[in-house]
């Protein structure tokens, strides 16, 4: 019996020694990983692949130690601010973030040139209509739509900001933000002042209702009809959905007629600007109109119905800071 116990103790000791060696080896890999990160602006494509491999090793280390890696930081903004504080430059590109509300880290595309914005969505006119919605949930729209649900769409890559295809990042669901930026074909179009939102985009949209009166004007601030955000910067670009080549003053989030207000001609849009002038037009990103039947498009031009642009090369990206 004693011999059997001695054998078990010996086996346990060997197992513990193997685990210690594995942790030590992985910890050494972390050191290599950290050194690689210091020169990430100079690495070749081959080196980037090696760093991605080391990312996996780092995750394994933290798993062995009972925790998950937090990636490069909680947000693109945090990474940008950390680099600024250290007197270093930081480039646009792919990063791994872990917002407080996220259970695990995930990759995102960061726009560092504009101050640390995270790409959360692409609304495209050149592929399947995946940002459409209906009025199944009344004033709240359609909670199972891509605008409101907790799903993602597509996989982020270095090409995502320039790709004409619908996309939704986990950051749409879990990254708290303050400012919204929108680009047209990957060219800056507009950005709001800070304070536009105070939660993730998904949670913000879930909390808002389409609450405008019939034919209500969209030409100034409002906390109910359109949940307006002052625009801090906009560029003059000839595009047909948000600005029409003009500088704009307000971004309206989830602007549309409430239930009971013009139910025979109900117009709604998730993102529009004061160029829309009033809610009689289903103009903007995420366009819906109910007349004799429901009609919805990923985006709508200025029309009393939901009508998508004829140019299929059009796409908009939505970013949060």
pLDDT at 70: 65
43 and 131 in a single domain? The answer is no
300 and 168 in a single domain? The answer is yes
Which whole-number Å values give the CA distances from 199 to 36, 82, 173, 178, in the listed order?
A: 34, 22, 9, 7
Is there a domain that residue 74 lies in?
A: no
DSSP 177-222: -S-EEEEETTEEEEEEPTTS-SS-HHHHHHH----BPTT-EESS--
pLDDT at 30: 43
pLDDT at 165: 97
Is there a domain that residue 205 lies in?
A: yes
Instruction: Using pLDDT thresholds of 50, 70 and 90, give the confidence band for residue 6.
Output: low
Task: Please check the confidence at residue 214 and state whether its pLDDT lies above 70.
Answer: yes
Is 269 or 52 the better-scoring residue by pLDDT? 269
What range defines the domain where residue 308 resides? Answer: 113-320
161 and 247 in a single domain? The answer is yes
pLDDT at 9: 52
For residue 257, the 8-state DSSP code is B
55 and 133 in a single domain? The answer is no
Is there a domain that residue 98 lies in?
A: no
Is 256 or 22 the better-scoring residue by pLDDT? 256
Task: Please check the confidence at residue 321 and state whether its pLDDT lies above 80.
Answer: yes
Is 15 or 134 the better-scoring residue by pLDDT? 134
pLDDT at 176: 97
Do the Cβ atoms of 77 and 149 come closer than 8 Å?
no
Task: Please check the confidence at residue 15 and state whether its pLDDT lies above 90.
Answer: no
144 and 254 in a single domain? The answer is yes
227 and 128 in a single domain? The answer is yes
121 and 47 in a single domain? The answer is no
Is there a domain that residue 75 lies in?
A: no
146 and 225 in a single domain? The answer is yes
pLDDT at 298: 98
Is there a domain that residue 141 lies in?
A: yes
- Candidate from 56-65, 142-151, 188-197 with smallest mean pLDDT: 56-65
Number of CB atoms found within 10 A of residue 209's CB: 17
Domain count for the chain, please give it. 2
46 and 127 in a single domain? The answer is no
pLDDT at 229: 97
Average pLDDT of the residues in 278-306: 94
Task: Please check the confidence at residue 40 and state whether its pLDDT lies above 50.
Answer: no
Is there a domain that residue 88 lies in?
A: no
Is there a domain that residue 95 lies in?
A: no
Is there a domain that residue 164 lies in?
A: yes
Task: Please check the confidence at residue 306 and state whether its pLDDT lies above 70.
Answer: yes
SS3 for 4? helix
What confidence tens digit (pLDDT) does each residue in 26-35 have? 445 445 444 5
Average pLDDT of the residues in 86-113: 96
What confidence tens digit (pLDDT) does each residue in 41-75 have? 443 444 445 544 544 554 444 434 433 456 899 99
pLDDT at 261: 92
Number of residues assigned to the chain: 321
59 and 127 in a single domain? The answer is no
148 and 245 in a single domain? The answer is yes
154 and 242 in a single domain? The answer is yes
pLDDT at 223: 81
270-305 core/surface letters (b: 16 or more CB in 10 A; e: else): bbbbbbbebbbbbbbbbbbbbeeeebbbbbbbbeeb
């Amino acid at each position: 019996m004693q011999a059997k116990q001695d054998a078990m103790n010996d086996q346990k000791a060997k197992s513990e020694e193997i685990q210690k060696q594995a942790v030590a080896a992985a910890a050494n890999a972390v050191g290599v990983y950290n050194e690689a990160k210091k020169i990430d602006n100079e690495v070749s494509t081959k080196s980037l692949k090696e760093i991605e491999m080391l990312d996996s090793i780092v995750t394994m280390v933290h798993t062995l130690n009972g925790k998950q890696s937090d990636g490069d930081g909680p947000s693109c903004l945090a990474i940008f601010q950390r680099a600024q504080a250290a007197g270093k430059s930081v480039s646009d590109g792919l990063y791994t973030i872990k917002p407080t509300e996220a259970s695990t880290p995930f990759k995102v595309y960061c726009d560092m040139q504009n101050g640390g914005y995270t790409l959360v969505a692409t609304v495209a006119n050149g592929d399947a209509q995946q940002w459409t919605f209906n009025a199944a949930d009344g004033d709240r729209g359609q909670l199972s739509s891509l605008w409101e649900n907790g799903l993602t769409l597509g996989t982020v890559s270095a090409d995502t900001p320039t790709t004409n295809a619908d996309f939704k990042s986990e950051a749409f669901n879990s990254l708290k933000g303050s400012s919204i930026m929108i680009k047209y074909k990957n060219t800056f179009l507009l950005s709001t002042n800070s304070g536009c939102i105070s939660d993730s985009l998904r949670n913000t949209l879930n909390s808002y209702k389409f609450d405008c009166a019939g034919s209500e004007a969209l030409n100034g601030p409002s906390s109910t009809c359109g949940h307006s955000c002052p625009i801090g910067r906009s560029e003059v670009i000839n595009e047909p959905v948000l600005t029409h080549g003009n500088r704009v003053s307000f971004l309206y989030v989830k602007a549309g007629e409430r239930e009971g207000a013009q139910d025979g001609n109900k117009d709604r849009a998730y993102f529009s600007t004061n160029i829309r002038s009033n809610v009689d037009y289903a103009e903007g990103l995420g366009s819906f109109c109910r007349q004799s039947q429901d009609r919805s498009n990923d985006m709508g031009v200025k029309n009393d119905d939901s009508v998508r642009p004829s140019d299929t090369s059009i796409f908009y990206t939505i970013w949060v800071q």
